[in-house]
């Protein structure tokens, strides 16, 4: 399921660049994956576009019915497929159309950050934001600021390394899926 969700929206070919063609320094354009709530953050992105606000063209949006549907495996799979940074964008706290979906997403993002740190990736590459559907300027600001943060960090180590970190991410993702689902009966 995680592979299908991420690859249907971005796919490994869409955001992964071989090491030999990876730009460095000021030429580096971070590939950012955004998991956006349909009701608020995705609507805010749409509004930003309608208002002709500028934000980085390397943002890849994945629309979710609610960020509460976002699982740790989705976040980690985006990194595995070459994202330099990932963020979830949901409804304002207390305003979730599904009551607590954004709170669940925040917990999952925080847990995924600990997994990233365990395998040697900077947890700053992952974040959770909340915004209203009328926040087009806020969406553009967050997208720009997050992209600048990732630009300062540089390309994802997964793009520069062998498959060992990918295997470590996959192992963490598998463990995370087991923790979230609970033990088998």
- Per-residue pLDDT of 25-76, as tens digits, reads 568 899 999 999 999 999 999 999 999 999 999 999 999 999 999 999 999 9
User: Percentage of the chain surpassing pLDDT 70?
Assistant: 72
| Residue 99, domain extent | 2-13+28-178
Higher pLDDT, 1 or 53: 53
Cα dihedral across residues 166, 168, 172, 177: positive or negative: positive
Q: Does residue 19 lie within any of the structural domains?
A: no
CATH of the domain at 171: 3.40.50
Structural domain includes residue 91: yes
φ, ψ of residue 91 in degrees (nearest 5): -70, 160
**What's the number of domains the chain is made of?**
1
Q: Note the pLDDT tens digit of each residue in 152-180.
A: 999 999 886 644 445 555 555 555 555 44
In the predicted model, is pLDDT for residue 127 greater than 90? yes
Instruction: Give domain status of residue 185, yes or no.
Output: no
User: Distance between CA 133 and CA 32 in Å, rounded?
Assistant: 21
pLDDT at 79 over 60: yes
Instruction: Examine residue 125 and state whether it is found in any structural domain, yes or no.
Output: yes
On whether residue 18 sits in a domain, the answer given is no
The H or E element that residue 106 is part of is helix 101-118
In a domain, 46, yes or no: yes
**Does pLDDT of 23 surpass 70?**
no
Residue 105 near residue 88 (C-beta atoms within 8 A):
yes
Between 161 and 113, whose confidence is greater?
Answer: 113
Does residue 35 or residue 13 have the better pLDDT? Answer: 35
Contact 106, 147 (CB under 8 A): no
Task: Report whether 106 contacts 128 (CB < 8 A).
Answer: yes
């Amino acid at each position: 399921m995680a592979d299908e969700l991420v690859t249907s929206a971005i796919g490994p070919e869409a955001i992964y660049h071989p090491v030999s063609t990876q730009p460095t320094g000021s030429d580096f354009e971070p590939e950012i994956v955004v998991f956006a709530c349909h009701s608020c953050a995705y609507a805010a992105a749409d509004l930003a576009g309608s208002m002709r606000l500028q934000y980085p063209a390397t943002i890849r949006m994945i629309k979710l019915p609610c960020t509460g549907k976002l699982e740790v495996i989705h976040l980690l799979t985006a990194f595995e497929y070459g994202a330099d940074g990932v963020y979830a964008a949901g409804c304002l706290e207390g305003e979730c159309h599904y009551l607590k979906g954004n709170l669940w997403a925040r917990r999952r993002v925080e847990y995924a950050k600990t997994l990233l740190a365990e395998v040697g990736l900077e947890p700053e590459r992952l974040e959770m934001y909340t915004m209203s559907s009328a926040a087009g300027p806020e969406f553009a600001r967050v997208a720009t600021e997050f992209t600048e943060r990732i630009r300062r960090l540089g390309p994802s180590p997964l793009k520069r390394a062998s498959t060992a970190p990918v295997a470590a991410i996959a192992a963490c993702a598998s463990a995370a899926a087991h923790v979230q689902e609970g033990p088998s009966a």
